[in-house]
Amino acid sequence: MATVLYITAHPHDNQTSFSLAVGKEFIEAYREANQSDEVIHVDLFKQDIPQIDADVFSGWGKLQSGTAFDQLSDAEKAKVARLGALVDQFVAADKYVFVSPMWNFSFPPVLKAYIDAISVAGKTFKYTESGPVGLLTNKKGLHIQASGGIYSEGPAAAFESGFSYLKKISQFYGIPSFEAIFVEGMAVAPDQAQSIKEKAIAQAKEVAASF
């Protein structure tokens, strides 16, 4: 049995969001093909995702100097504990499905906060004499990204910083396989928006069968 984290970063629902609509079809197809697997939905807009702030740095510093956890301030304890829970959940999973829109060539800031939360030395990577080495070498990932323009190829491809960033960070973690499903071009050709979504859903179902 495998554990899948279905990580969504969109404030709307699947009736409004193209990325979530495709993501919903993917995860339903995945569940049908892998009925013994556990799927955990991590809705970043509905969960507590602490930013790395002064409380976090202070709490980490105290712990590293030998201070007991129960001696931290209430804010330090809450944030440090939550960050620890997020990275432990990520490490324990086997597969990752990220779903997000493209905002200003990247993704919503809550997803960056989540990446910061799980980028922890000794958990997702480690430092060695020859540089950092990823620790998640037996995992796999997928990013479903929706955008009004076309960024997976063509003249605007150099501006794409959503999937390309997640692929880089997954490689940093040692994840050997990280795929993409692009739902794109709806603003360029609004009359084709429905067919674009349907094409992406068909691709999602195909990918789900072997993910």
Show binding-site residues for FMN. 17-19, 102-105
User: Residue 60 has which token pair?
Assistant: 């980490």
In a 13 Å sphere around the CA of 175, the CA atoms on its Cβ side amount to: 22
6: DSSP letter: E
125: DSSP letter: E
CA angle at 206 for the pair 200 and 211, rounded to the nearest 5° = 115
Indicate the annotated binding residues: 17-19, 102-105
d(CA 181, CA 23): 10
d(CA 152, CA 145): 10
72: DSSP letter: S
